[in-house]
Structure 1
Amino acid sequence: MNFSFEPATKDEAKARVALTGPSGSGKTYTALTVATGLSDKVAVIDTERGSASKYADEFAFSRLNLQSFEPHTLCQALAAAGAAGFGAVVVDSLTHFWSGTGGMLEQVDAAAKRGYGGNSFGGWKEARPQERQMIDALVSYPGHVIVTMRSKTDYVIEEDQRGRKVPRKVGLKPEQREGIEYEFDIVGDLDHENTLVITKSRARDIANRVIPKPGGEFAQEIAVWLGDGKPSPDALHFRDLLLDQYATQEDVAAAGADIRARGLFGAQVVNEHGDAVALGELARRRWNELGKAKPADGGEAA
């Protein structure tokens, strides 16, 4: 294998933001604030029984209400949102795709019972690729992505202004797999006062910030950081090339290499039949189709 190094550049990127916090901390409202500050066309994938719609008088967005949370369902929803041209997608909340009906924990349990005698290690081996596909679809979406995650809650005892001992609800780790925060550029924890504490950020000006009631200014800071780079082709760009322009295996092979190099192999797009498919699989299928179309005698194809 040949390895070729090239000068690094900062491409114009899209936001990948995760907001965690206990119930009532303002995750949905903050996510909508960030999303509408980044794009004028926002979609909400709502797992919270339509709770985002309570803010429809303050924000303009389209919604998709889900009742079942299999990982491939989120992949399909993201493919549809990309095809519809939504510049920002809010997943409220990602927790349901972990512990909700049909989520990862149920997938593992079903796989363990189906083929591993109830052994969860075998269940994880079978179900883990579904989660990887879902995460790939999130991080390679051709627009901004803001997800919310519920935190487990606990109580601490504090003194109030009169010296009395009173309980206060606090959020702990999000209800998701360990290390999920590494998939996002910016991660923040919200408390019941709607104060956002940035726990991870690739944007240096945002790192370690404490932001009371984050609003449009916070979204603008993210936009400024993202805009400091050159335009970069996204999954929809490559989809259109594969389906409408590239007519040789050589073209498709070159596109496939570029897709992989840009980390878009697992991006979910809609094919010519309206079905969700990974961009890498679409490139592989087109390469095979063009190979079959070549005439055996080397002449012009009909």
Structure 2
Amino acid sequence: MELRKSERKRAKIKMALQGSSGSGKSMSALLIAKGLSNDDLSKVAVIDTENGSSDLYAHLGRYNVINMEPPYTPEKYIEAIDICLNAGMDVIILDSISHCWDELIDFHSKLPGNSFTNWNRVTPRQKAFVNKILQSPVHFISTMRTKQDYVLNLKNGKYVPEKVGLKAIQRDGVEYEFTIVFNIDSKHFATASKDRTNLFGDKPEFQITSGVGKQIKDWCESGIDLDIIKKNIKNCTSQDELNEIYRSCISYKDILNQHFVDQQHHIKNSQIINSNNFSKNGTTTN
């Protein structure tokens, strides 16, 4: 372990849009994706569980669609995500991930035996699905349906149900996994209930446009790009060049160490080959 100064690396956004039916989640997700992809929707894929509703917005551009059919298992979502990744997509929209949770709840209800211990057969599947989103090297926009949430408050000796806002139809706490969560109301206005980018947290309600996606893209690309650093390491032809990059990236030496070691071996091997070639074809003095 080593203490180092914090530095933000380039990121792929993992965000969620939550709202009731008809609030405009699908349209909003596509507009954000348009901004994230620099208006190139050919690199955007929609995994559609909403009966083909994503095709309603084809006027926005030629994005890609996977129509999922029931059952909406986590494994099916993961398979669809892999298809998108293998096709070279830059942005994946999951519309919606509420169906996945509904499927798991239904699965849990049909299991025999102890209801509490049966969650051991549900949680790993949900976790694998969420990890697939978080660990994939592309932008993700997940939509979630919401329902009105209530609590019971004691008034005049009686428990009275009171509205406390909208609750996403997904596992409790799933919003903590996302960098941004937008709440979209019935008039298609959005507010940020969670925003680790600090781009939208203090804003009043707003309408989502492709400009929102462009703002997020700029934020994602304002950090350090480790892929470029790895490429620069691989292009080094001398130990001095390698040392210079190493000194400038000391904060990430644990992540990049194997890349430095591999290139160091490559440089040394190249020098030995060049030296042997000179000995055979040139002249040497003892």
Task: Give the TM-score of the pair, scaled to structure 2.
Answer: 0.70
| Gap runs ≥5 in structure 1 | 156-169, 238-256, 260-302
Q: Describe the SS at the equivalent of 1:98.
A: helix
Of 155, 165, 176, the residue aligned with 2:170 is 176
Distance change >3 Å, CA 226–CA 45, structure 1 → 2 = same
1:61 paired with 2:59, answer no
Structure 1 segment 207-226 matched on structure 2, within 5 A: 207-226=201-220
Count of paired positions = 215
Partner of 2:28: 30
Which residue identity does 1:35 align to in structure 2?
A: A
CA distance in 2, matches of 1:194, 1:13: 28
Post-superposition shift, 1:78?
1.2
- Between stretches 6-15 and 180-189, larger displacement belongs to 6-15
CA distance in 1, matches of 2:209, 2:29: 10
| Gap runs ≥5 in structure 2 | 151-163, 232-253, 257-286
Partner of 1:249: none
CA distance in 1, matches of 2:115, 2:145: 24
Which residue identity does 2:19 align to in structure 1?
A: G
Post-superposition shift, 1:171?
6.4
Using CA pairs below 8 Å that are at least 6 residues apart, which structure has the higher relative contact order? 2
CA distance in 2, matches of 1:233, 1:182: 27
1:144 paired with 2:146, answer no
Of 35, 51, 54, the residue aligned with 1:52 is 54
Post-superposition shift, 1:153?
4.0
Post-superposition shift, 1:233?
4.5
1:87 paired with 2:90, answer yes
Distance change >3 Å, CA 193–CA 154, structure 1 → 2 = farther
CA distance in 1, matches of 2:119, 2:87: 34
Conservation of the 8 A alpha-carbon contact between 1:151 and 1:171: no
Partner of 1:77: 80
CA distance in 2, matches of 1:94, 1:208: 27
Conservation of the 8 A alpha-carbon contact between 2:33 and 2:210: no
Q: Describe the SS at the equivalent of 2:6.
A: coil
Post-superposition shift, 1:218?
1.1
Structure 1 segment 1-302 matched on structure 2, within 5 A: 3-39=1-37, 40=40, 41-67=43-69, 68-99=71-102, 103-110=103-110, 112-113=111-112, 117=113, 119-153=114-148, 172-233=166-227
Post-superposition shift, 1:154?
7.7
CA distance in 2, matches of 1:177, 1:30: 23
Q: Describe the SS at the equivalent of 2:142.
A: strand
CA distance in 2, matches of 1:206, 1:130: 32
Question: Could you report, residue by residue, the CA deviation over 1:115-170 in whole angstroms, capped at 9, with x for unpaired residues?
Answer: xx2x2212111211011000000111211000100011489xxxxxxxxxxxxxx9
CA distance in 2, matches of 1:202, 1:190: 18
Q: Describe the SS at the equivalent of 1:219.
A: helix
Greater share of helix residues, 1 or 2? Answer: 2
Post-superposition shift, 1:8?
2.8
Which residue identity does 1:11 align to in structure 2?
A: K
Larger CA Rg, structure 1 vs 2: 2
Distance change >3 Å, CA 96–CA 233, structure 1 → 2 = farther
Question: Could you report, residue by residue, the CA deviation over 1:39-69 in whole angstroms, capped at 9, with x for unpaired residues?
Answer: 1210000000100101012232110011121
CA distance in 2, matches of 1:135, 1:208: 28
Partner of 1:278: none
Conservation of the 8 A alpha-carbon contact between 2:74 and 2:126: yes
